[in-house]
Chain A
């Protein structure tokens, strides 16, 4: 198992480097970092001077090699705009995104679990379909649209929730709903499927036969078994939220890594873009690894390769 995990991590690094090479080339092909650094009012002569000062007139491949050499030694470099190291910059932004994703996951589960259980219990009735419909709605709406509508309704019209920022837990509710509802359908389908499977198993039939109340059977026995794959999937969903919150963060003015990535892309601040892509790739690999391990550990039947 350890060797398996290590191989995955090694793979992650190879993938990360492949990704970073792609990203570097993309950013440098048509954007112009020197112009971005100099700003809108700068003269062409200023731009040339900055290009020289920052060594941006050297071949792109040399600049990439330099970055890679440092990255391999654990130094992600320094932002060209912020007075920070890339590592530090990401660390200061990560808490916002982590909080957002964690709350998004909680909301996704709050939507998905009840709907999934109800759908499984009322299988193939209109309630089943309605439950799926509610879950799927979250994936059918453009999320910035949904976020803006919530600002309009809960922030402006009703005044229940703060509009933007990240000072308190309340600030995270609307963005977390935006993000969480989007993930709900997948979790809901899995919960429903798992519940249906477990409910029709001999084991639960026995429990029924023993005369245990339905609530106990559902919550104590069936759900416990059905939830295993859902827990595993949660780790993957968490990873997706971490890397997929760009738009949500923009709408709610949350300064997490999603917005940082967008900002760094617009400014061609390539060390930052590289750092974030590497981090996201690592997150993905580690979280899917956790998901697989969880599945294997919780449910020996899955250990088939």
Chain B
């Protein structure tokens, strides 16, 4: 069913055709070509954690619930009804007539099989986020399944939208087969994987619809193009229909081109500076342990200027360690640090650093903005040396307490709740470099409460404490900019997942 090109090396080298460049796909062919900078190595949503993989997941597979991108409401999708049985049990009744891409019928047995597969460590699942909140699943009858959680779990509805169900036939093949011959139930089926060349998705005509509805576009072609200029050049020459992660400067210039539409969409991603207030990198001579230094750094950064000039449209300066759109990300009563280099210098002098100091700044993405921060810090006398590394090395250094100043970015797993942002960073996990007992207690209270008002109250106190102590220098929210063929109707969503099954070509 899926074409795979893995000919012998020489044979394939000879097979690369002579002749004119490939015929350009046209809107008339109802095909959409999209390029991105990375490619999931394994197609299966349980074996990759890339953003592109999440997008594939939405197009090829389905979950019991679906979050309406306009209203934010949870809608029934694979499930036709959901019932909370008790604190730790949720019962799903699966819709009838769901057909997998290989023709099999999908029902509650596939839900159980998926959960059991993901929880069994022998299967070496790497994307654990989809099932880590579950302890098991049991079959009631062929259309009914009960999911068990180890403890009462507040955001279960949100997590039911990420529990993608894999048909049993596919699960039987394990990691490699699931990656090579993905079978789902979604609006698109994978029709071709040419490693390193392209991945082709065909509209699945027996799709059950559900909350996603039927797709319009017949064929999606994905290709990984690592270099941003190359992607833009392809867009301008008609070699691709849709790209994203367009930089603000490129966006500004692209806007002037005919035939190209540029749009920015908000996300719940934000950028921040973490400071080693707990002195994990050494207590001696560690300026970050001094609240005046942390406040000085907060005052030194020209958030407005950087947002206006570099980060671009759709971004806002940030003063909390969470995205304002997230539940519990209270903006009232917090301490705000306006841009004031003079004040920053005074604070540094008070702290005993009239001539500033030198510090390493770890970072792994959005380097030009990091450089702008370095420039801001330099203006108040702090010499920050960029320590650029790849994500794993950055993360490891943070977790092992080797980082004094870190410039990071957090996508909150696209969830609209501070339980996935502030609590992630301040509740004493290995990623918490501040380790403040007061904040930890407040967040724990907020996370474990089920009453929204009680949660909000606890989070308010936490936000006040964090900003007052200047544990972080929150920077700005992160917008995502898309550029596409002007004939394409495309609506961005706040969760960083483009939905091509709702896109269509203007005829």
What B residues does A41 contact at CB under 8 A? 49, 129, 411, 413
A204 at the interface (CB under 8 A from B): no
Considering only CB atoms, which chain A residue lies closest to B53 in the complex?
A39
What B residues does A84 contact at CB under 8 A? 176, 180, 195
13 contacts between A and B (CB under 8 A): A35-B392, A35-B396, A37-B126, A39-B48, A49-B128, A52-B121, A79-B41, A82-B42, A83-B179, A99-B13, A164-B230, A168-B16, A172-B16
A65-117, CB < 8 A from B: 78-79, 81-84, 88-89, 91-96, 98-99, 102
Report B201-230 CB contacts with A as 1/0, cut-off 8 Å.
000000000000000000000011111011
Docked-complex contact A38 and B126, CB < 8 angstroms: yes
Docked-complex contact A156 and B237, CB < 8 angstroms: yes
What A residues does B28 contact at CB under 8 A? none
Q: How far is the CA of A78 from the CA of B179 in the complex (A)?
A: 13
Q: How far is the CA of A164 from the CA of B48 in the complex (A)?
A: 26
Considering only CB atoms, which chain A residue lies closest to B7 in the complex?
A95
Chief secondary structure at chain B's binding surface: loop
What B residues does A188 contact at CB under 8 A? none
A124-178, CB < 8 A from B: 148, 151-152, 155-156, 159, 161-172
Docked-complex contact B429 and A50, CB < 8 angstroms: no
A297 at the interface (CB under 8 A from B): no
The listed residue with most A CB atoms (<10 A of its CB), out of B48, B179, B229, is B229
Complex partner residue of A253 from B16, B121, B226, CB under 8 angstroms: B226
Report B230-250 CB contacts with A as 1/0, cut-off 8 Å.
100110110100000000000
Q: How far is the CA of A78 from the CA of B41 in the complex (A)?
A: 13
Q: How far is the CA of A41 from the CA of B54 in the complex (A)?
A: 11
Complex partner residue of B196 from A96, A102, A170, CB under 8 angstroms: A96
Docked-complex contact B6 and A88, CB < 8 angstroms: yes
B357 at the interface (CB under 8 A from A): no
Report A29-40 CB contacts with B as 1/0, cut-off 8 Å.
011110111111
Complex partner residue of B49 from A30, A42, A91, A253, CB under 8 angstroms: A42
Docked-complex contact A98 and B230, CB < 8 angstroms: no
A54 at the interface (CB under 8 A from B): yes
Docked-complex contact A39 and B196, CB < 8 angstroms: no
B417-434, CB < 8 A from A: 424, 429-431
B1-39, CB < 8 A from A: 5-10, 12-13, 15-22
Docked-complex contact A49 and B49, CB < 8 angstroms: no
Given A32-B393, A41-B49, A168-B17, A95-B195 contact (CB < 8 Å): no
Docked-complex contact A83 and B42, CB < 8 angstroms: yes
Complex partner residue of B195 from A32, A89, A169, A266, CB under 8 angstroms: A89
Docked-complex contact B239 and A164, CB < 8 angstroms: yes
A255 at the interface (CB under 8 A from B): yes
Taking residues whose C-beta sits less than 8 angstroms from the other chain, chain B's interface range is: 35 or more
Q: How far is the CA of A93 from the CA of B8 in the complex (A)?
A: 10
The listed residue with most B CB atoms (<10 A of its CB), out of A83, A98, A168, is A83
Given A30-B396, A163-B230, A40-B178 contact (CB < 8 Å): no
Complex partner residue of A40 from B15, B122, B411, CB under 8 angstroms: B411
What B residues does A94 contact at CB under 8 A? 9, 13
Docked-complex contact B129 and A170, CB < 8 angstroms: no
Complex partner residue of A46 from B129, B177, B234, CB under 8 angstroms: B129
Q: How far is the CA of A162 from the CA of B22 in the complex (A)?
A: 9
What A residues does B132 contact at CB under 8 A? 43, 45-46
Measured CB to CB, the closest approach of chain A to B429, in angstroms, equals 6
Q: How far is the CA of A78 from the CA of B176 in the complex (A)?
A: 10
Considering only CB atoms, which chain B residue lies closest to A169 in the complex?
B18
Docked-complex contact B234 and A168, CB < 8 angstroms: no
The listed residue with most A CB atoms (<10 A of its CB), out of B18, B21, B47, B197, is B21
A225 at the interface (CB under 8 A from B): no
Docked-complex contact A252 and B230, CB < 8 angstroms: yes
Measured CB to CB, the closest approach of chain A to B11, in angstroms, equals 8
Docked-complex contact A35 and B196, CB < 8 angstroms: no
Complex partner residue of A168 from B18, B127, B396, B413, CB under 8 angstroms: B18
B504 at the interface (CB under 8 A from A): no
Docked-complex contact A148 and B229, CB < 8 angstroms: yes
B331 at the interface (CB under 8 A from A): no
Docked-complex contact B233 and A91, CB < 8 angstroms: no
What A residues does B124 contact at CB under 8 A? 50, 53-54
Q: How far is the CA of A186 from the CA of B128 in the complex (A)?
A: 53
Docked-complex contact A151 and B49, CB < 8 angstroms: no
B499 at the interface (CB under 8 A from A): no
Docked-complex contact A251 and B230, CB < 8 angstroms: yes
Given A148-B229, A168-B16, A251-B230, A95-B10 contact (CB < 8 Å): yes
What A residues does B156 contact at CB under 8 A? none
Measured CB to CB, the closest approach of chain A to B254, in angstroms, equals 13
Docked-complex contact B21 and A162, CB < 8 angstroms: yes
Q: How far is the CA of A102 from the CA of B237 in the complex (A)?
A: 27
Given A39-B126, A98-B10, A32-B42 contact (CB < 8 Å): no
Given A44-B430, A162-B239, A168-B21, A38-B128 contact (CB < 8 Å): yes
B400-449, CB < 8 A from A: 411, 413, 424, 429-431
Q: How far is the CA of A151 from the CA of B230 in the complex (A)?
A: 8
Docked-complex contact B20 and A170, CB < 8 angstroms: yes
What A residues does B191 contact at CB under 8 A? none
B175 at the interface (CB under 8 A from A): yes
Docked-complex contact A165 and B223, CB < 8 angstroms: yes
Docked-complex contact A166 and B392, CB < 8 angstroms: no
Report A244-288 CB contacts with B as 1/0, cut-off 8 Å.
000000111101100110000011100000000000000000000
What B residues does A54 contact at CB under 8 A? 124
B286 at the interface (CB under 8 A from A): no
What B residues does A151 contact at CB under 8 A? 229-230, 233
Report A229-244 CB contacts with B as 1/0, cut-off 8 Å.
0000000000000000
